[in-house]
Structure 1
Amino acid sequence: METQKQKKSFGQWIKTSITVRMLMVGILILTLLIPLSYIKNLIRERAYRQESVVKEINQKWGNEVLLYGPVLKIPYQIHSIKKTWDDKTKSYSEEDQITINHAFFFPNTLDIKTNIESETLGRSIYESVVYTANMNIKGSFIRPNFEIKDIAEEDILWNKATIIINSTNLKGIRSNLELKIGKDSYGLQSRYKQNSYTNTLETDFLKDYSLPKETPIDFSMDLIINGSEQLRFIPVGKETNVSMTSNWASPSFNGNYLPDTKTKEITESGFKAHWKVLQINREFEQEFFGVLPEIENSAFGVKLLIPVDEYQKSERASKYGYLVIALTFLVFFLIQTISRIHIHPFQYLMIGLALTMFYTLLISISEHSSFLSAYIIAGISVVLLISLYSKAILKSLKFMGFVAASLATLYAFIFVIIQLENYALLVGSIGLFVILGTIMMISRKIDWKND
């Protein structure tokens, strides 16, 4: 009889012990981390799928555009004396060996005016921003300075001089390229360039009157090119001026140089921007001998952004999944402890799974609608589901209303944090402090002595 009473009292203690309930709730929270991790992986998988589709769209239309040039390319001769021992004469014979090297000279002035007509292309539920850029490129070259390398005038091969332009996107070019130099025009042809970030376009040999031997020579060129996401330039001019207009309302100006704040203008109908970069602002000189360097790090320009990234916001929301589950379980735990209503672990598990369903609803609906609409629909659905379920297990409209108000407040609080950037930490900290204070006030009514 005594053993049965002990078993009964132990079983009763298991059912009524606050400590046991807390351990049970903690174990369930840790268990629900598994479906939450799967949901995060799902969000990343969908985001990766979006990225791959966008890349495919961009490759077919035209990738980002980086323009590097025009650059005057002039070959020159290098002399080296080769000494050979002659056994017959018992002396050295000298032979003048000539090798050809190239010098590269950047323009004295470079002015680029660009109009960007942007649009969005979609495939399935994904879309990418693409553009067609109409460019007018003007500038001038001055006489190249070979004296800094002690290169004699007779070693300069003026008749082999060309002009080159480097770009990352030859596929997107939509116009025949002709570079007007002085009074003559020269077509540009692609040249193979191994292991390089950019592709090279080069003219035929320049005629003598197209060369800046005695006086500066002007050049101009019109270019129409399809691209996506970014348009950037390298400031190769001793003075580089770039003016840009576009119908895209969400630009991100990036690179080594930002546009002039006095001329920059962003409206709902597009943007305008102007850059002025001087040689003294750069990290490289005006001429190179031997090899044309890779100076992409000095590029500047604009990135056309799609204003909303639903997957990024969904991932940020999922990071608060642990907090939502823990606080919701805490609400039910306090109700159970204060009112002495028995809640089975299975019922806690059902509530936790309903909370995780919020994120699958959020990501699936946001793919076909705005993030705000998806958040409202998913939030209302989960709050209604858990509220009706709590009415069934708690048998009280008062408790059901408390659960619904708590969940609605929690989801609204998280939505506000997601929208904020600079003040997210501050608002989150204040909100958690208020929640902790509320829990401390409510938990005062718990009688811990009878545990």
Structure 2
Amino acid sequence: MTDVSDTDATTGSAGNRPPPFRPRAFLNSPGVKFVLIGILTVMLMVPSLFVWILVEERADRAREVARDIAGSWGGTQEINGPYLVVPFSETVTIGTGDRGRTEVHWHTAVLFPEKLDVSGDLQVEERWKSIYSLPVYSGAVQLSGRFGAPPSNMFEPQKGGTVDIAADKALLVVGIGDVRALKNEVSLTLDGNAPIPFEPGPGPMVVSSGQFKAAPASASSGINAAVPPLKWRKGFAFQVPLDLNGSTAVYVAPAGQSTSVNLSSNWPHPGFTGAFLPDERTIADTGFEANWSIPYLARGIPKTLITNQLPLQSKLLGVKFVEPVNFYQTISRSLKYAIGFISLTFLAVFVLEMRSGWRFHWIQYALVGLALIIFYVMLLALAEHVGYGLAYLGAASAATVLNAAYVGTSLKSRSAGAVMFAVLATIFALLFALMREQDYALLIGSVIAFLALAVTMFVTQKIDWTGQDDTETAKSAAAA
């Protein structure tokens, strides 16, 4: 005879036993899959790093081609001067009697113009080599103004000796960034008299590397013209017309005690830079015009100097001929948002998977992520041929259609595919906006991340992250 109480005890003990561990069910649980998706997202940063290296490699190639074009046409021009340079010697006696000796030291006195007017009209065009281009310009720059008579203290002894002025060796010196790009013989006109030809080189002056030069200036980065003693001792008006080529940018030094600069061009994308910004500027689709006015005190340098260095190399003003979109820089910046970009896409797929009832394997997640990585490669390749705007539209459209179709067919749901299409289109539009609004990129990105998290929290509120509901349902079905 069976003891009823023993049977009930056995049955009760079996009923309270925890369900057996099922590895397959555990791996398919939403919580574990969510963690695996996160790990997969981090792993996809490796191919995105290789894409970033590819972008930098292509950007270096573009810069190399730009240097080749600039080497043939003309580089960045820095116009510094003119300055009146007068060498003088100082004789110093050291010691007394039989042990005394005499030393001669040479110095260079530099006089700034009382007034300097710089005007230039530069015509810009794009020169191409292979698939790369560089903005280059040609035009006329006019330097005009007046030098006053040198002040009495211009030739003060530096070591307490006797000064002897080399009056016949006075030079008017103009520093030029790339003298190879001069298109005509340059002459100096003094008080409207017969022109005096310039000679190559900055005379006794040393031209240091300019603030905007990529490489040290050569010894010939300048020109000089002799000024007769009768002229420079009394002061004179001058004119120096320059006809030159250049690329990327042009800079001017405020060499006058009072300097005014007027630059105009047909390039509609100027980037004003340097120690001084223009007082007035007009920018239109047909070009720009800008005016600078730098008074004596703002320049911060006295009227004369004793130096062999060309002054004001660190206080240039000017304009860059900016390309509308530097797509290498833009794509490189967009790769910094790749982890958020991929995370939002995976999040959308995960939510659709949880609501559809069909499973989306982690390998399929990886394929969706790789399609997003390929988007950056397509964007880079197309941008080099058709420009950034059309390239982004083409690459984004291809990635959106591919992933939306793949998700929709994998989840056996047209509505899931349509939702995925809308999500990806929104993500690509937001990424495009982030790249255009660099100053507000962090603000926009943080708002997007917050909204995405908020939507995910409420959409997944009813999901059983442990997967126990599915197990219980399966057991009930088997028992029935």
**Is the counterpart of residue 158 in structure 1 residue 167 in structure 2?**
yes
Displacement, 1:134?
Answer: 0.1
Structure 1 residues 361 and 81, CA gap change in structure 2 (3 angstroms)? same
Q: Which of 419, 422, 436 pairs up with 2:436?
A: 419
The one-letter code of the counterpart of 1:129 is P
Q: Which of 175, 181, 187 pairs up with 1:172?
A: 181
Displacement, 1:26?
Answer: 2.1
2:395 corresponds in structure 1 to 378
Aligned 8 A contact 1:82 1:97 in 2: yes
Q: Which of 172, 190, 201 pairs up with 1:181?
A: 190
The SS at the match of 1:118 is strand
Q: Which of 219, 237, 241 pairs up with 1:218?
A: 237
Once the two structures are superposed, residues 21-46 of structure 1 have per-residue CA deviations (whole angstroms, 9 ceiling, x without a partner) of 12321222122111111111111111
The one-letter code of the counterpart of 1:241 is S
Quick one: distance in 2 between partners of 1:97 and 1:16? 93
The one-letter code of the counterpart of 2:147 is F
Aligned 8 A contact 2:116 2:145 in 1: yes
Quick one: distance in 2 between partners of 1:312 and 1:216? 51
Once the two structures are superposed, residues 44-76 of structure 1 have per-residue CA deviations (whole angstroms, 9 ceiling, x without a partner) of 111111111112111211111111111111122
Displacement, 1:77?
Answer: 2.7
The one-letter code of the counterpart of 2:170 is A
**Is the counterpart of residue 362 in structure 1 residue 382 in structure 2?**
no
Quick one: distance in 2 between partners of 1:70 and 1:61? 24
**Is the counterpart of residue 260 in structure 1 residue 279 in structure 2?**
yes
The one-letter code of the counterpart of 1:357 is I
Aligned 8 A contact 2:143 2:241 in 1: yes
1:201 corresponds in structure 2 to 223
Displacement, 1:332?
Answer: 2.3
Once the two structures are superposed, residues 361-405 of structure 1 have per-residue CA deviations (whole angstroms, 9 ceiling, x without a partner) of 111111111322212211221122112222332112122222222
Shifted more, 431-440 versus 301-310: the winner is 431-440
Quick one: distance in 1 between partners of 2:225 and 2:276? 30
Structure 1 residues 208 and 415, CA gap change in structure 2 (3 angstroms)? closer
TM-score by length of 1: 0.90
Q: Which of 111, 115, 119 pairs up with 1:109?
A: 115
The one-letter code of the counterpart of 2:71 is Q
The one-letter code of the counterpart of 1:300 is L
Displacement, 1:181?
Answer: 1.7
Q: Percent identity?
A: 28
Aligned 8 A contact 2:121 2:264 in 1: yes
2:5 corresponds in structure 1 to none
Q: How does 1:3-42 map to 2 (within 5 A)?
A: 9-42=21-54
The one-letter code of the counterpart of 1:416 is A
The one-letter code of the counterpart of 1:190 is P
Aligned 8 A contact 1:417 1:428 in 2: yes
Displacement, 1:85?
Answer: 4.8
**Is the counterpart of residue 72 in structure 1 residue 84 in structure 2?**
yes
Equivalent residue pairs, number = 436
Shifted more, 285-294 versus 217-226: the winner is 285-294
Q: How does 1:89-104 map to 2 (within 5 A)?
A: 96-104=102-110
**Structure 1: runs of 5+ lacking an equivalent:** 1-5, 87-91
TM-score by length of 2: 0.85
2:212 corresponds in structure 1 to none
**Structure 2: runs of 5+ lacking an equivalent:** 1-17, 210-216, 469-480
Shifted more, 39-48 versus 22-31: the winner is 22-31
Aligned 8 A contact 1:104 1:292 in 2: no
Displacement, 1:416?
Answer: 1.9
Larger Rg: 2
Structure 1 residues 96 and 49, CA gap change in structure 2 (3 angstroms)? closer
